[in-house]
Amino acid sequence: MAKGLIDLDRVGMTYQAASGPVEALAGISASIGAGEFVSLVGPSGCGKSTLLRIVAGLRPATTGTITVAGRAVTQPIPDIGMVFQAPILLKWRSILENVLLPAELAGKDPRSLRSRAEQLLEMAGLGGFGTKLPRELSGGMQQRAALCRALLLDPPLLLMDEPFGALDAMTRDDMALELLRIWGEKDVAREARKTVLFVTHSIPEAVFLSDRVIVMSARPGRIAADLRIDLPRPRTVELRATEAFGKLNLEIFRALTGKTSMGTAF
Amino acid sequence: MTKFGAMANRYWPTLVLFAFLLASWQAAVTFGNIREYLLPAPLSVWNALWHGDTAWWPHLWTTTFEIIGAFLMAAVVGVALGVAIAWSPVLANALVPFLVFVNTLPKVAIAPLFLIWMGYGIFPNMLMGALIGFFPVVINTAVGLSQVEPDMLDLGRVFNAPKWKIFVKIRIPNALPYILSALKITATAAVVGAIVGEFVASQRGLGYVIVTTQSSMNTSVAFAALVWISVVGLLLYGAVVLLAHLWAPWAEGVD
Ligand SMILES: Nc1ncnc2c1ncn2[C@@H]1O[C@H](COP(=O)(O)OP(=O)(O)OP(=O)(O)O)[C@@H](O)[C@H]1O
Ligand SMILES: [Mg+2]
């Protein structure tokens, strides 16, 4: 396999919990190229969040090696945007101050990024909410604020853990299109785009956004399938109605469940 | 509704109850033939406050000064120790058992020692108040600094933020509501400490006034001193509540 931006070589992770060891990941090998948009789907508890944390260098893997941009990951890696599964906004800061937090933590002048932060909030439909405290926002709004925070420093690598999980279907679709725009689908050459690792529970969302969908099996998480999504870009809403789109959905569903028919899954 | 209207709406039951109790007390003493040195009527207390022989100012000032000093000392030392404990496990191991030991000592029993070591004066009484009030600040500071959601700390690590920056931007704000709620306890403890100190050794102060009334049987003066003590205590407590309102509005309604 060609050297990618992110290389995972037989990565395994076993948590030492109070109740005994929990094997979360086993034998994960994959290579993700620069500029690729890769989604990660799999049943709840299969280790998707764990994998994201390992790639970010927030947790060490128990076995295997992780390389990002040619360097072995042993500590938190620089220049990434991370959206955690929960919004984790600092409750004492206004939304705008929360979005500006990365600048402060990374030692940059937050004033110079203020207008960018405001633009991002505007983009996420949070225009008038910059001065509000997190507790004054709904769960979905908090999640969008967390997305803005991850995008503030314009990181080349985005690790996103169900960033749209708490959103209604319509807002979710809007945000997906915005994300593709920010990724540079329309105006940036393929290799110069951001690299995105995107966890979701929605198969159509994964297909719609991605170049590739990695399907994981139940715990301990292994790679059950790795599918290329060769749908034309830029992706449009109409694409969802095409046969090719439906076929890919079905294929991922089968890989995920081992069943041959979709039934009433969605 | 106006702010004043809202206040009136909230506090009128308290005021009515208070007025009722005062009136019953006055009536009981006047018509129940209770002797003045056992239980002085509210009106006698009022007289002692404003028209009596006691020159209140020096006493009031001394005690207030002691209470505020005790409070500030407990706050500063308590926060500093809490920070030290949360910052370094070695310091925590060294300090915590020792602090727990100090806290279990009955402070009243130490007061006579203070007299031997430091003699009469304002400072030993301040120290007594600080000694009674500092422990909750230490504990709450340490707990508030340590009980940060692990995810929040990961957020800091994602940006490779140095330890001190995570302390300043995440841990300290997280601890603020904890510290402020400990300071409410400290406000009360500072009053107790200052008065205890005055009981044992003093020539001035509201506690001293109360002690002297024991021999003179001038109970209404003792009650008047109690009124002053509670006024100072309430003002200090109110100041802490106000501070919490200004500094940690996000934690409002937590306690
Ligand atoms: N800190 C931890 N200590 C012990 N076990 C953990 C810890 N974090 C996760 N696990 C376990 O590891 C497994 C994988 O967890 P993880 O959060 O990565 O799953 P996930 O795929 O993200 O699930 P979901 O889709 O529900 O978010 C789970 O069985 C979980 O119980
Ligand atoms: Mg997860």
- Structure tokens given for B40: 């002085």
Edge-to-edge strand ranges of the sheet holding A37-41: A80-83, A157-161, A195-199, A37-41, A212-216, A223-228
Q: Which of A11, A14, A15, A199 to mutate to test the pocket of ligand 1 (most atoms within 8 A of CB)?
A: A15
A53 CB neighbours in chain B (<8 A) are 154
Any domain includes A188 = no
Ligand 1 centroid, distance to B97 Cα (angstroms): 37
**ipTM field:** 0.84
In a domain, A107, yes or no: yes
On whether residue A185 sits in a domain, the answer given is no
A181 in any annotated domain: no
Ligand 2 centroid vs B57 CA: distance in angstroms?
Answer: 66
CA A19 to chain centre: 30
Distances (CA, A) of B115 to A36, B97, B102, B118, B197: 76, 27, 18, 5, 9
Question: Which residue ranges of chain B lie beneath pLDDT 50?
Answer: 254-255
For A85-144, the DSSP string reads SS----TTS-HHHHHHHHHHHTT--GGGGHHHHHHHHHHTT-GGGTTS-GGGS-HHHHHH
pLDDT at B184: 95
3-state helix, strand, coil in chain B (%, to 5): 85, 0, 15
Instruction: Give which of A258, A217, A261, A164 is closest to A44, Cα–Cα.
Output: A217
Is CATH 2.60.40.10 the classification given to domain B64-248? no
Q: How far is the CA of A48 from the centre of ligand 2 (A)?
A: 5
Query: Treating both helix axes as pointing N-terminal to C-terminal, what angle do A95-105 and A114-123 enclose, rounded to 10 degrees?
Result: 130
A24 and A100 together in one domain: no
Q: Is the dihedral of CA B142, B144, B147, B149 positive or negative?
A: negative
> Which of B148, B149, B158 would you mutate first to test chain A, the one with the most A CBs within 10 A?
B158
Counted domains in chain A: 2
Give residue A133's domain range. 80-155
Q: Which amino acid is at A75?
A: Q
Looking at the domain assignment, is residue A222 inside a domain?
yes
Best of A59, A89, A90 to disrupt the B interface by mutation (most B CBs within 10 Å)?
A: A90
pLDDT at B57: 93
What is the rounded distance in angstroms from the CA atom of residue A5 to the CA atom of residue A37?
Answer: 12
pLDDT score recorded for residue A219: 83
- State whether the beta carbon of A22 lies less than 6 angstroms from ligand 1: yes
Whether the Cβ atoms of residue A84 and residue A53 lie closer than 8 Å to each other: no
Cα Rg of chain A, angstroms: 18
Please give the DSSP secondary-structure letter assigned to residue A239. G
For A88, which residue in chain B has the nearest alpha carbon? B152
Q: Do residues A249 and A148 share a domain? A: no
Q: Is A29 in the pocket of ligand 1 (CB under 6 A)?
A: no
Cβ contacts of B150 on chain A, cutoff 8 Å = none
What is the distance between the alpha carbons of residues A32 and A40, in angstroms, rounded to a whole number?
Answer: 12
Residues of B near A (CB-CB distance < 8 A)?
A: 149, 151-152, 154-161, 165-166, 169-170, 173-174, 176, 248-251
In whole angstroms, give the CA distance from residue B37 to residue B39. 6
- Residue among A11, A13, A39, A46 whose CB has most ligand 1 atoms within 8 A, to mutate: A46
| Ligand 1 contact via A48 beta carbon (within 6 Å) | yes
**Co-location of A164 and A258 in the same domain:** yes
**Which residues is B152 bridged to in the sheet?**
none
Residues facing A221 on adjacent strands: A25
Q: What is the pLDDT along chain A (266 residues), one digit of tens a residue?
A: 447 889 999 999 999 989 999 999 999 999 999 999 999 999 999 999 999 999 999 999 999 999 999 899 999 999 999 999 999 999 999 999 999 999 999 888 989 999 999 999 998 999 999 999 999 999 989 999 999 999 999 999 999 999 998 898 888 998 899 899 989 888 888 888 999 999 999 999 999 999 999 999 988 888 999 999 999 888 998 999 999 999 999 999 999 987 665 555 44
Residue A233's pLDDT is 87
User: Is the domain of A149 the same as that of A172?
Assistant: no
C-alpha to C-alpha distances, A252 to A41, A177, A196, B21, nearest whole angstrom: 9, 21, 19, 76
Residue type, B248: A
- A11: domain CATH number? 3.40.50.300
- Please tell me whether residues A167 and A260 are part of one structural domain: yes
Report if residue A186 sits inside a domain: no
Asked if residue A4 and residue A45 are part of one domain, the reply reads yes
Instruction: Tell which residue, B140, B149, B145, B143, has the closest CA to residue B180.
Output: B140
> What pLDDT does B158 receive?
92
Closest CA to B133 of B80, B73, B81: B73
Whether this model's pTM surpasses 0.90? no
| Cβ-Cβ contacts under 8 Å for B141 (sequence gap 6 or more) | B78, B79, B81, B82, B83, B85, B86, B175, B178, B179, B182
**Does residue A213 contact residue A227 with C-beta atoms inside 8 Å?**
yes
Residue type at B72 in one-letter notation:
L
Q: Is A4 inside any structural domain? A: yes
What ranges in chain A are assigned the alpha helix state H?
48-56, 95-105, 114-123, 139-151, 169-183, 203-209, 243-257
Residues A167 and A250 in one domain: yes
Contacts with B176 from chain A: Cβ below 8 Å: 92
Q: At what angle do helices A139-151 and A95-105 cross, to 10 degrees?
A: 30
Angstroms from A96 CA to nearest CA on chain B: 15
Encoding tokens for residue A225? 């399938």
Residue A31 bridge partners (DSSP): A7
Find chain B residues with C-beta within 8 A of A106's C-beta: 159-161
Residue of B nearest to A92 (CA): B250
Residues A148 and A58 in one domain: no
A72 shares a domain with A199? yes
- What pLDDT does residue B254 have? 45
Residues A62, A49 within the same domain: yes
Best residue among A50, A83, A84 to mutate for probing ligand 1's pocket (most ligand atoms within 8 Å of CB) is A50
Q: Does one domain contain both A222 and A165?
A: yes
- Sign of the Cα torsion A60, A63, A68, A69 reads positive
* Domain residue ranges in chain B: 64-248
Question: Given an 8 Å threshold on Cβ–Cβ distance, is B157 in contact with A101?
Answer: no
Whether residues A133 and A164 fall in one domain: no
Using CB atoms, which residue from B159, B169, B250 is nearest to A91? B250
pLDDT at B210: 93
Residue A156 C-alpha, separation from nearest chain B C-alpha, in angstroms: 14
